[in-house]
Amino acid sequence: MILESDGVRLRAVEPEDLELLYKWENEEADWKGSNTLVPYSRYTLRRYIASSHRSLFETCQLRLMIDVMPGNRTVGTVDLYDFDHFHMRAGVGILIADPGERKKGYASAALNCIIRYAFETINLHQLWCNIIEGNSESLNLFRHHGFELCATRKEWIRVNQGFETEYTLQLINKTI
């Protein structure tokens, strides 16, 4: 199955992606949405890339790069994480790294691809995501793709000025 939709292609992480991942993983402004507290070293990322060929069933996570076609310009990542084979579910997260590349439909196309892959190829029963209250663009993106609110965690994420509420949304695969 080719992971393409509406002008984007999802592809495996390559060694050439090291500097992009280093830049993106260490962008402190994005840490709140990914529950990251410390920077990543190039060494750690190099080891991650070297082992990224391992199966989703083995590592319980999958990161794919989002390339805009034509030209294969890399604009972000989409992740399946906390994969649970027994319960047939996984979390999904998307990053369009450069704010200038956002609101162009890339995240929507990538989400289409990963939903199709998760439901048709690995036969998951559901996908879920966690989104902080202030991220209305992500909330709208996932709702547009059929994700429904299933949990509200009040004052769940600690931020500089206190705490933010986090929402959990899920999408059930109706064909299983």
Q: Are strands 126-132 and 89-96 parallel, antiparallel or unpaired?
A: parallel
Between CA 9 and CA 67 the distance in angstroms is: 5
Residue 81 contacts residue 24 (beta carbons within 8 Å): no
Between CA 76 and CA 93 the distance in angstroms is: 11
The 10s digit of each residue's pLDDT in 116-151 is 999 999 999 999 999 999 999 999 999 999 999 999
CATH number for 116: 3.40.630.30
Single pTM value for the model: 0.89
How far CA 100 is from CA of 14, 16, 32, 45, 136, in Å, comes to: 24, 22, 20, 25, 17
Rounded to an integer, the average pLDDT of 90-105 is: 95
What is the domain count for the chain?
1
Residue range of the domain that includes 133? 4-172
